Structure 1
Amino acid sequence: MPNGSTQTIAAPCDAEQIQTACRRATGGTLSVDGSDAACDSVTMIHLFEGDAFLLLSDDAPAIGVAHGDGETSAVLEVIDTAPLQLRERVRSLIWLTGKLFEVPADMQRELAVEIAGDHPDERLLDIGHGYTMIRMAIESAVIASTSGAGAVPVETLACAEPDVFWAFEGDWLAHLESDHADLVHQLARRFPPALRTGRVRPLRLDRFGITFRIETADSDDDVRLPFSRPVARVADLSAALHALAMHPSLDHLM
């Protein structure tokens, strides 16, 4: 971190990473304690305060559990995958544990409209047409990545928000790799010398900075370059990336 009273925030906290991963996830896997049935596929996940609203097919066994007494625990696993086709796409694993509850049928469509205001997703249109929404009251949250694993208090998770660029990250990383090889090359000059050989791939982009994956013949290594300050608007991302590329030192390197 740079010296002085102003510190650069290098990366999102674990709670924000969980919120972001669940918001952009294309699905998850739900397993119920004591059930011999195969794990259920979750089509969509929306976190709100201390709850996770889950969209499942009508024939998923977990829906029957949600109509029960609320005493059976379940575990939702979410795999955060990189938008680009990397050699190893998994960026983090998330496990949410809690109890399952039904969402009354006459409220599901209304709730879907409310969710769509913050989390627009065409899969919400499937409610009542082969898919059902249930609620998980979250009791614990854990995230694991290459930097380690950690538990997140439910209260902290409930107060966190997804990264402001969660919906644009994939398009931005693809655009950076396909159309701005020169900028990627400039940014790679800020890597430690030992990591300047290999194929450089954009891995993660958020309001605090950008992470690259360096693929060599026998290893994958990640390097994160934080912005000098968090970026709040899509229009400012390009300027932040170019400023990072032109920075003459490695003071912000993580």
Structure 2
Amino acid sequence: MRPSPAELVRTLVAGRLPALAHVAHRPGPHHVRHITDPDGQLLMLVPVVSDLSVALEPVAGDDVAVVLDVLDLPPVAGAPSLGRAWVSGWATRLRDDAQRQATLDFADAAPTGDLLDVGTRFRLYRFEVAEARLERADTVLRVDPEEYAAAEPDPLHPVEAQVLADLADHHGAEVTGYVRRQLGHAAPAGPVRPVRVDRYGLVVAYGPVPERHQLRLAFPHPVDHPGELARALHPVLCRARATRTPD
């Protein structure tokens, strides 16, 4: 199994990666801090004194159309990109009780001292996702809004860089040995390097540049929490067999 387009979009827009906001009929784009709630609705934390705040002001009562643009930042050099997510909707400034609840929701996902100044120096905006797209390898896939809302961001994405560093620093020999056992006579002569990990498996790279190859090692079961990763990696690190699918 691999992450679905809806899961990839939810992972990219969860709030851990830098984002740009494009406001319809206004100059831009604008850098913006954001998070998504469990239903995938976006919250944007915007300074009162900023070009983005001005752009988000409605004209003659019209809704403000916004597109959030998030490009993946691969965790290690040479790692494949998850792509680029584009989600669009209509932004609404939150006030009173809605603003207070949104401040708490934002703090749960991305604590920052600036949330103490919501209502004075900062404003919170919410928009429901009306359209979602995933751009990968010059192909744009449209994601159904209901599928987007039902999907979950990958639970390993926040710790992916640390996991890959640990595997490279402390378990390189085990990963290389496992891949050689799986590939048999087609096994690479040189070392194997883990380059991505998600809830469904581990992606490794091997061979010389530019003919470098990638291989996906599938976990026995999807990982629901980082604490389950050690069990999922047990077949790789302990000379057991596991399912594999080439990228």
Read off the aligned partner of 1:77 and give its amino acid letter: D
User: Does residue 1:95 correspond to 2:86, yes or no?
Assistant: yes
User: Unpaired segments of 5 or more residues in structure 1?
Assistant: 1-9
Maintained 8 Å contact 1:143/1:151: yes
Equivalent in the alignment of 2:51: 61
Select 1:236's aligned residue among 224, 228, 231. 228
Larger RCO: Structure 1 or Structure 2 (Cα < 8 Å, ≥ 6 residues apart)?
Answer: 1
The farther-off stretch of 17-26 and 155-164 is: 17-26
User: Unpaired segments of 5 or more residues in structure 2?
Assistant: none
Alignment of 1:162-173 (within 5 A): 162-173=153-164
TM-score (norm 2): 0.80
User: Does residue 1:142 correspond to 2:133, yes or no?
Assistant: yes
| Alpha-carbon distance between aligned partners in 1 of 2:159 and 2:132, rounded to the nearest angstrom | 25
Maintained 8 Å contact 2:35/2:110: no
Return the offset for 1:154.
0.9
The farther-off stretch of 179-188 and 126-135 is: 126-135
Return the offset for 1:89.
6.7
Equivalent in the alignment of 2:176: 185
Alignment of 1:198-217 (within 5 A): 200-214=192-206, 216-217=208-209
Return the offset for 1:59.
3.3
Return the offset for 1:41.
0.1
Return the offset for 1:105.
6.2
Deviations 1:124-182 (A, max 9, x none): 63653744321223221011234954211111111222223233222212211222211
| Alpha-carbon distance between aligned partners in 2 of 1:59 and 1:198, rounded to the nearest angstrom | 55
User: Does residue 1:114 correspond to 2:102, yes or no?
Assistant: no
Return the offset for 1:96.
0.8
Select 1:133's aligned residue among 109, 121, 124. 124
What secondary structure sits across from 2:128 in the alignment? strand
- In structure 2, relative to structure 1, the CA distance for the partners of 1:73 and 1:114 (3 Å cut) is closer
Maintained 8 Å contact 2:79/2:195: no
Equivalent in the alignment of 1:253: 245
| Alpha-carbon distance between aligned partners in 1 of 2:93 and 2:62, rounded to the nearest angstrom | 9
Return the offset for 1:34.
1.9
TM-score (norm 1): 0.78
Equivalent in the alignment of 2:41: 51
Aligned residues: 241
- In structure 2, relative to structure 1, the CA distance for the partners of 1:156 and 1:248 (3 Å cut) is closer
